């Protein structure tokens, strides 16, 4: 089954950074290891390393716990940048939904 791109990825492209951000915007309520995110976004561990470090440095991602040797991280919903990204993602998704509804051109049936 082919994966469909999210509105966020469609709008900003499918660069590794956008894919990682999109993953956390979509699944931000849970925590993940770097390996899990790399696997789910189909980004190599070497490529994800600088992206991951930047998001931690900017406090967009926060460490939640350690499971064995894996450090788990989630989207820091208190971070102003993360809040803006969440808001933008919501607005883009809403606009896309509105366009799809508009494109359906559902006839209005008058009640008697």
Cα angle for residues 45, 47, 83 (degrees, 5° grid) = 100
| pTM, rounded to two decimals | 0.86
Domain range list for the chain: 13-82
C-alpha 59/C-alpha 69 separation (Å) is: 21
- Answer yes or no: are the C-beta atoms of 8 and 22 closer than 8 Å: yes
User: What tens digit of pLDDT does each residue of 33-72 get?
Assistant: 999 999 999 999 999 999 999 999 999 999 999 999 999 9
pLDDT band for 1, please (50, 70, 90 cuts): very low
Q: For domain 13-82, which architecture applies?
A: Orthogonal Bundle (1.10)
């Amino acid at each position: 089954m082919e994966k469909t791109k999210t509105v966020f990825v469609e709008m900003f492209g499918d660069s590794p950074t956008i894919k990682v951000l999109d993953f956390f915007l979509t699944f931000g309520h849970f925590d993940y290891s770097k390996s899990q995110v790399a696997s789910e976004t189909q980004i190599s561990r070497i490529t994800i390393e600088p992206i991951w470090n930047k998001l931690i440095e900017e406090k967009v991602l926060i460490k939640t716990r350690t499971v064995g040797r894996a450090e788990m991280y989630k989207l820091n919903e208190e971070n102003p940048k993360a809040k803006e990204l969440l808001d933008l993602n919501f607005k883009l998704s809403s606009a896309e939904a509105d366009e799809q509804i508009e494109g359906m051109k559902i006839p209005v049936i008058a009640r008697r």
